[in-house]
Amino acid sequence: MARERRFGSVSMELPDAIGGYVLEDAEALGRGAMGMVLKAKHENQSKIAAIKIRPITANDNPGMIERIERDAQALTKLHHQNVLQCFDAGKEGDYLFLALEFIEGDTLAELIEREGGKLEEKRALEILYDCAMGLVAVESAEFVHRDIKPRSIFIADTGEAKLSDISLGIRFEDAEAAHKPGSIGGAAAFISPEQAQGGIRLDIRSDIYTLGAAAYSMLSGTAPFSNDNSEELSDMIVNTEPTALESLNSGVSDKVLNIIKKAMHKNPDKRYQHAEEFAIAIEEAMYGQSRPVTKKLTKPKGNIKTREDDVPEPSLPKPLLVFGILAILLAIIYLIVNN
């Protein structure tokens, strides 16, 4: 049985239950590309979930629906404390659904607003590090998030940050921008130059840019770019540098400024090349070079230098080395004299 669900002025006919979850309220928690988000409870368990649900329409491409189903199932296998967990996913009747972890807390956008527009550097780094670690898991699962922004980052009541809203139907192997040049996907002010250009194969470096843009917002109180005209906004993202962060917040350290500048470089080849490399740089800014690499980090794929690579090979202490050389020289002199 279906009934009307609302989010603001938007309404949608949705079933009372799907995937074993009973949808609880007529008023939705939110609305996005995957339809509406509603709080739900499992029929046979006490598990509370946030259900993303979307009707399948005649205009939907069957191939895209299949890819969404495939990626939704893959998403249920992605388990990380800094990624909103997906309990279940699939197609039921004329609807696609995701059953996601329900957490009490705020989005990063709400936290920034509550804190007066800017976060202290220490708190911003904690959130950024959590998100970078979540991005390590996203990269390992061969997803491209494509939609990192302050409203897709959740801050649990524990203070831990979690990535949400991972785009479905778009993996590394088919990750050409899912929009045409001139159109904007994701939260427009935070997309990468590659997304703004359109038609370019996206990889984790695009997500690194958008997470850097979210960090810029945390510390500046504003999005990197702003323009009501989508074409002009795209041009700004591709060709213009954002207002210098240090001019908007003089309290940001040079180390953090450099991290964000590198993450947001226009050229993907000059950004951090892997999420783990980004996380290591953030951790160094938080704790300094003397702190060992956290056990949560695994050796990155590819030729990425980590602090472990900087550890020199064991060598003899200098005094012992000098003594050894002198002993060898004396032995040679003794042999020469006695011969």
Write out the catalytic residue numbers.
147
Nearest CA to 87 out of 2, 148, 21, 154 is that of 21
Tell me the CA end-to-end span of the chain in Å, nearest whole number: 107
- Gap between the Cα atoms of 327 and 311, Å rounded: 30
Q: Which amino acid is at 317?
A: P
Residue type, 332: I
Return all residues near 248 (Cβ < 8 A) that are at least 6 apart. Answer: 219, 220, 221, 222
- Find residue 97's DSSP bridge partners: 53, 90
In 70-219, at which residue ranges do the beta strands (DSSP E only) sit? 86-92, 95-101, 105-107, 153-156, 161-163
Q: Are 145 and 138 in contact (CB under 8 A)?
A: yes
Question: 171: closest CA among 192, 140, 199?
Answer: 140
**Are the C-beta atoms of 182 and 242 separated by less than 8 Å?**
no
